Structure 1
Amino acid sequence: MSASTATSKNSGPVLDWAAGHGPVTGALSATTGMFAVAATGAATSMPPAWALAVGTAGAIGHTAAGLRWRNTGRTLATRAASWLVGAGWTTWAVAHGPLSWAALGSLATIGVAIGTATRAANLHEEAREEETLHAERQAIAAELSAERRAIAAEWIDRVQRVCGVTLARVMAVEMWKTGTGFTVDAELPAGGTTYDRIAKEGPRLAADARLPHGCTVAAGPGVDQGRVLIDVTTVNVLSKEVPYPTDYSPLSLHTGIPWGVRTNGESALVFLREQCGLLVGPTGSGKTNMLHTILAGFARATDVLTWVIDLNAGSSGLPWVRPAIDPDGKLISEVKPGIDWLASTYEEARLMLETALAIGSHRKIAYQDLMATANTDLLPITPQIPQILLVIDEGAEILVSNDKEMRELAQLILKVIRLLRSMGIRTVLTALGATGSVLGNLLIRREAKTRVALTGGETEGMDLSKLFPGSRGLRVTQAPYKGSGFLGTPETPVALFKAWRILPSQIREIVTATSNRHPALDKVSGHAAGDAYAQRWNPDRTAWMRQALTNTVAEPAPSVPATGPAKSSLNLSALRPTGPDEEDADALAAELMRQIDQRFGTTTEPEAVGQPSDEQAPGLNLSAFRGNEDSSGPAWLADAIEAIKAAGAAGMKPKAVADLVGRSRQAVRDALKDAAERGELVYRDNGPHSAYIHPEHA
């Protein structure tokens, strides 16, 4: 402790010379001033009338100031009287001397009187100020209460007119803090009426209330089954782009991860400790942006490890890895990736899912004592034992794929969902549409209870009744904007929401801000994961990331002579000049095929039946071999389109078209898909009954 500090603590009370006077100090200051003026005036033979003149001027000045400050009459009288009495005593003391007992006694009496009168005036001022504030609050409350009573009466009448339900009474009307709407808390009538009677008439109620487009009326359960909460949105918050918050503070799996904002301005929180997630959104609805928003929330969580499977070149996970990998494909020591593992191939995805199953199985055995101590059958998730969340882009499509490798991945995904809930391993799947083929799996419907539908105004393949069974009044037209849609969780009913817009620059900021926050896989789980997990960032396994991040091509394509301007193309063997080595390899392959035919015999390939026997090399349907195609597709496509047009509204399946034109199904699917993108055909997605139809019959 310094000497100055010690001195200040031992020097007695500290006086605040800037503070105003109270009743005691004010009276003391007044009486000492009066005595000083009187003593000085008596010693210097000052005319006594001067003191009276100064006191009168002070009384007039304080009265004028008090009127400006709107003081009460009691305060004005007290201050004026204090000045006049003080001036009178000073005038008498200057004339007769201030040192007599009569002078000193009367001065003390005046000081006590001034202090008492000042204290009484101050109390009166405070009481009057409290009364004024109370009156203002009462006026505001009365005005607000009148507005709420009007809203209550209006909605009682509207519900009766539209739904045929007479509300017993409105308990409260809560105005949202965001100013975008209000909630009516009402008591349902006797006789077993439920809130569903009102919920299913939401669109009609919104129309009756003449709400702007994008505003809805949603009814949900109240505090008990005899109450209903009617949420009325009066401002369309879905049409505007809402940027991702710049607050990158820590989150926890137990307190909820925000996925966007609801129409009342509150964050849409999801709780994924036991639940899986399902995100549905067609092309152009903002699904990829929403996926990055989900990954941002997981990156901010201190008790979550995120594993991502994206078989589309890992595009959804690369932005979260890019800031942490150098051009050599090695991790930067100062920055950790925003996700813990990224798989872009079938082999890596299979390895990731098998590792998750191994971790879950080992956790069940190794953490028995911990769960017994905590008296729970769920593994306690903490930053020391983090939850693993597998985000699988277009994972719902993997589950319904007929491809052999995809079926193997599908079985592993379903096994993870079915077996590892209690051990803290959950999934978030995405899908392009809410169709029966996607939602046909009972396990997905049962476990993925946190569901999001980004509609973007798209009606094809967006059956909201299948995605949110039991919820009525949901229409795609209620959320026609990009990034808008519906979100439902076990904790909150299905309602409109808006996904945040997250920019690539924010992804980099979040990766950097949360780098020291990511938990490490616990030792028990790491032992079960083995080298498959420990070597996940090995340069050999991340070589594809290095190529993607540096935008380089391993082997540039040789130039091909052409009459027109040069253009970039694939490095195809069909376009390479044949050298001696290639001729030797072709001779060896021909000899091998001759021996195979001689030993086992030959058969005609089914796909070749009915195809033209031109001098085309077998293999992929490459543009290098096409001589009868142009920008509008192969030559047989015109006949296929005419056949589809003749089929009418029923359309034709790709298999039927393939049989008609004598081409492989894959070639037919690619050509029909390109035609649909050009608007020549319309694809009707209906699961196993999907077909292509002509625009005239769409």
Structure 2
Amino acid sequence: MLDRPRNHEPIPWRHSVISTPLYTAATVYTGGLALGVMEDLGATLPLGWMGLGSAAGVITASASRFVRAKGQNGWRRWYHTGFTAVWTSATYTWLNWTAHGSPWTFAAASIVAGAAATFTPLYAVDRWLRQDIIAAQWADEVSQVPRGVSGQWHQLLLDVGAQGVEVGRPRDTRSGYALPLLLTQTTFEGLLGLLPLLETRHGDLRTGALQLRRSPSGKASEAVLFVATRDVLSETAPLPEDVHPLSIREPLTLGLLESGEPLEILFRQNSIFIAGKKGSGKSVFLHVIIAAITRCTDAVIWMIDLAQGNTAKRWLRPWAEGWKDRHGDLIDRPILDWVATDHEEAVRLLNASLAVGDGRARRMKGGKIRPSAKVPALIVISDENPDLMAVNPGAVQTKTRSVKKGRKAAVDFVDTGQRGTGPNTGGGEINSQYDTVIGMKFREKAEGQFVFSGFYNQVDLSKLPGNGSMYILDEARLKEGGIGPERAKGHFVNDDDEDDDGKQLDDIEQLAVDRWAIRPDLDPESQRDADEYGYADRWSAERTAWLAEALGLETAAHVSATGDKTAGQPRTAATATSRPPALPDLDDYINRHKDWKPGQPQAVEQQPEQEEETDPALQEAIAAAVREAERIAEAAVPPQTRRHPRRDEVTQWVRDSGDDGITVAQVRERLQALYPGDTPPSDTAVQKWFAEHEHITKPKRGLYVWAEKEDS
């Protein structure tokens, strides 16, 4: 790993007892051939002067060796001198002989080979007698710390107490340089703890500029120190303008690591959680994620956006308003396949995702699904996830099952929240399923323990510089030798809807325009699985009223009633000043625009009139009356015969647990997490429920499993 000789010889090519005599013999023979060529070409060689020069060379080499061996015992000193005199005499004799005769004979080559074989053991003795001198020379060379970057870090490591760390030659990286290290005394963990002190000692480095990683070789004695001289986290990394198709099976680039390397995340078989306070850059990062996934030819996005659809509506606007792309083609479908902006729709979407995963699992022959354009991956993105998980038990149950069961069926999740605690994510079961965790800026360092519980001392989310900076903990990188959360900067895309002068911006919308035709449709089988939960009419006027209101569009029901002939048409100069177009129903919109050409009139099919909606206040009054009647009826039942309201739900948990089963302690823990205001049933009560149920068995102590009874 380090660029230095592995023995004590300071001159690199003088390493081996065998190779050195062979190298010398080859050099001498080549010199003789050169003299032979000159003679064959008719050159007159000064043989007398060559003889005198040879004698002088032998005397000079012998005297020099005698002087350099001054520190050794008398007989050793004379051996070194004699050995030098003998081999230099043999060399000069050969050269003078070739000037008289011819080196182009087998006999001449045999003489040189014989001489090499003779001098090899003599050279071995010479080296053995000089081993102390060689070791001293190497020690002196090591003590003279190499100059430059390696030398500086060698001394810094010694200064902070890192003994036995050898520094190799630096190599450039995108954010600075990397130094290979050989650890002979200080351990990897010990050196890791010295990084803050090294940054301080260096003087010119910012906090967090040093990263220590294990060597790709996997050896405990080798490591790599990354030094960042460029402050990646303080820079703005604009989202690249590339729009060429990608695959969800490959990692998608979302920014830069602090080392300057690309921040890449694999979304296939990977559940992701993103935490950060308001204003930390979560929304922008979600836009970056959507921009990457919508370039995939084998992925479909469903989105839960409980912040009034603020993230999703920008991506839907080009479709809803009838924009055209750069080729002049009408954008006739939304780039996001399903969007939920309220709890009811969100639970419906989650149930559908579970149905898709179950359906695919039934149809699989084994193994896992490989996403393709025909059977694309389903990525479920949740913005403001705590708004759903903290208050909706039905969503938590469905989400837990989906996250567990969807992995092999190409159904994966990306969730965001303002904290990393259980109520924000849906509890410990969901938390344990996240493969990649991202923490963005928080006000307090203590928040790091909720996001990266096992790396609290390595992470300070309060000191992240600027929006869009983050720590990322990726299980895949941990398996490749990572040591914990890495700092990174996400790509930036402007999500402002207007500039300082009040001019409307459409940066996000343009991303949708560039990508709308890339993404595939959900496969027909999965569509049928999801139909039970309203997939077919997900873009109906009633369920997309939020989008029509947000964009100032009229609903399809209003258009049907008024007979507006401009509904659904692309906006042109002629219609720009008229009433806004209606938000189209997806299937109807595709059919109406399928054969449309610019300049042709478009007909709008009349929709059946909608039934008049009931007064919301009246609906609420009726619901309150029903709840009160249920409460009175329940109170009338004697306590000894009253059924616990959570009993059926707990029974379902046993069924959902499959072969793994569930314990009473796990039941009570989940009840406390989902219903913090309720008094959980006692252990005895839960055990009694299980004992009385015909399908629940107890294969071993404390564990309850669902078992279907065979027909008799």
Q: 1:380 aligns with which of 370, 389, 396?
A: 370
Change over 3 Å in CA distance of 1:476–1:160 after alignment to 2: farther
CA distance in 1, matches of 2:192, 2:291: 34
Q: Structure 2: which amino acid aligns with 1:150?
A: G
Q: 1:502 aligns with which of 478, 493, 504?
A: 493
CA distance in 1, matches of 2:538, 2:423: 33
TM-score (norm 1): 0.53
CA distance in 1, matches of 2:425, 2:529: 33
Residue 209 in structure 1 maps to residue 202 in structure 2:
yes
Q: 2:459 aligns with which of 466, 470, 474?
A: 474
Q: Deviations over 1:396-445 (max 9, x none)?
A: 5643x2x3xx1211111111111111111111111112446547943334
Q: Structure 1: which amino acid aligns with 2:344?
A: E
Change over 3 Å in CA distance of 1:336–1:211 after alignment to 2: farther
Following superposition, the deviation at residue 325 of structure 1 comes to 0.8
Contact kept, 8 Å, 1:327 with 1:550, in 2: the verdict is: no
Q: 1:293 aligns with which of 288, 296, 306?
A: 288
Change over 3 Å in CA distance of 1:465–1:536 after alignment to 2: closer
CA distance in 2, matches of 1:462, 1:413: 24
Following superposition, the deviation at residue 281 of structure 1 comes to 0.7
The higher radius of gyration belongs to: 1
Change over 3 Å in CA distance of 1:167–1:352 after alignment to 2: farther
Following superposition, the deviation at residue 265 of structure 1 comes to 2.8
Residue 267 of structure 2: SS of its match in structure 1? Answer: coil
RMSD: 3.6
Change over 3 Å in CA distance of 1:333–1:480 after alignment to 2: same
**Aligned positions of 1:615-626 closer than 5 A:** none
Change over 3 Å in CA distance of 1:486–1:247 after alignment to 2: same
Equivalence for 1:570: none
Residue 458 of structure 2: SS of its match in structure 1? Answer: coil
TM-score (norm 2): 0.52
Equivalence for 1:231: 226
Equivalence for 1:198: 191
Residue 451 in structure 1 maps to residue 447 in structure 2:
no
Q: Structure 2: which amino acid aligns with 1:517?
A: I
Contact kept, 8 Å, 2:199 with 2:207, in 1: the verdict is: no
**Aligned positions of 1:531-570 closer than 5 A:** 532-550=534-552
CA distance in 1, matches of 2:544, 2:538: 8
Contact kept, 8 Å, 2:274 with 2:437, in 1: the verdict is: yes
Equivalence for 2:154: 156
Residue 286 of structure 2: SS of its match in structure 1? Answer: helix
Following superposition, the deviation at residue 314 of structure 1 comes to 1.6
CA distance in 2, matches of 1:428, 1:311: 14
Residue 390 in structure 1 maps to residue 380 in structure 2:
yes
Q: Structure 1: which amino acid aligns with 2:489?
A: K
Residue 220 in structure 1 maps to residue 218 in structure 2:
no
Contact kept, 8 Å, 2:340 with 2:349, in 1: the verdict is: yes
CA distance in 1, matches of 2:163, 2:425: 38
Contact kept, 8 Å, 1:243 with 1:500, in 2: the verdict is: yes
Change over 3 Å in CA distance of 1:204–1:477 after alignment to 2: farther
Equivalence for 2:648: none
**Which blocks of at least 5 consecutive residues in structure 1 are unaligned?**
1-145, 372-376, 556-584, 604-654, 656-698
Equivalence for 1:411: 397
Q: Deviations over 1:559-614 (max 9, x none)?
A: xxxxxxxxxxxxxxxxxxxxxxxxxx99xx9xx99xx99xx99x9xxxxxxxxxxx
CA distance in 2, matches of 1:340, 1:245: 24
CA distance in 2, matches of 1:426, 1:148: 52
**Aligned positions of 1:463-612 closer than 5 A:** 463-464=448-449, 466-467=451-452, 469-470=454-455, 472-476=457-461, 478-492=463-477, 493=482, 494-504=485-495, 505-530=506-531, 532-550=534-552
Q: Structure 2: which amino acid aligns with 1:381?
A: P
Contact kept, 8 Å, 2:300 with 2:337, in 1: the verdict is: yes
CA distance in 1, matches of 2:368, 2:447: 35
Between stretches 242-251 and 432-441, larger displacement belongs to 432-441
**Aligned positions of 1:337-348 closer than 5 A:** 337-348=334-345
Residue 238 of structure 1: SS of its match in structure 2? Answer: helix
Equivalence for 1:109: none
Equivalence for 1:113: none
Contact kept, 8 Å, 1:320 with 1:511, in 2: the verdict is: yes
Q: Deviations over 1:424-471 (max 9, x none)?
A: 11111111124465479433343212111111x622662257516247
Equivalent pairs, count: 403
Residue 491 of structure 1: SS of its match in structure 2? Answer: helix
CA distance in 2, matches of 1:443, 1:420: 14
Change over 3 Å in CA distance of 1:160–1:439 after alignment to 2: farther
CA distance in 2, matches of 1:147, 1:325: 68
Residue 424 in structure 1 maps to residue 410 in structure 2:
yes
CA distance in 1, matches of 2:337, 2:246: 17
Q: Structure 2: which amino acid aligns with 1:362?
A: G
Change over 3 Å in CA distance of 1:158–1:378 after alignment to 2: farther
Contact kept, 8 Å, 1:253 with 1:272, in 2: the verdict is: yes
**Aligned positions of 1:161-176 closer than 5 A:** 161-162=159-160, 164-176=161-173
Residue 306 in structure 1 maps to residue 306 in structure 2:
no
Residue 250 of structure 1: SS of its match in structure 2? Answer: coil
CA distance in 2, matches of 1:244, 1:319: 17
CA distance in 1, matches of 2:459, 2:413: 26
CA distance in 2, matches of 1:161, 1:396: 49
**Which blocks of at least 5 consecutive residues in structure 2 are unaligned?**
1-143, 324-328, 496-505, 559-616, 636-675, 677-712
Following superposition, the deviation at residue 309 of structure 1 comes to 0.5
Contact kept, 8 Å, 2:448 with 2:460, in 1: the verdict is: no
Following superposition, the deviation at residue 294 of structure 1 comes to 1.2
Residue 197 of structure 1: SS of its match in structure 2? Answer: helix
Residue 291 of structure 1: SS of its match in structure 2? Answer: helix
Following superposition, the deviation at residue 194 of structure 1 comes to 4.2
CA distance in 2, matches of 1:393, 1:470: 25
CA distance in 1, matches of 2:207, 2:317: 38
CA distance in 1, matches of 2:296, 2:322: 28
Residue 487 of structure 2: SS of its match in structure 1? Answer: strand
**Aligned positions of 1:319-334 closer than 5 A:** 319-326=314-321, 334=331
Following superposition, the deviation at residue 293 of structure 1 comes to 1.1
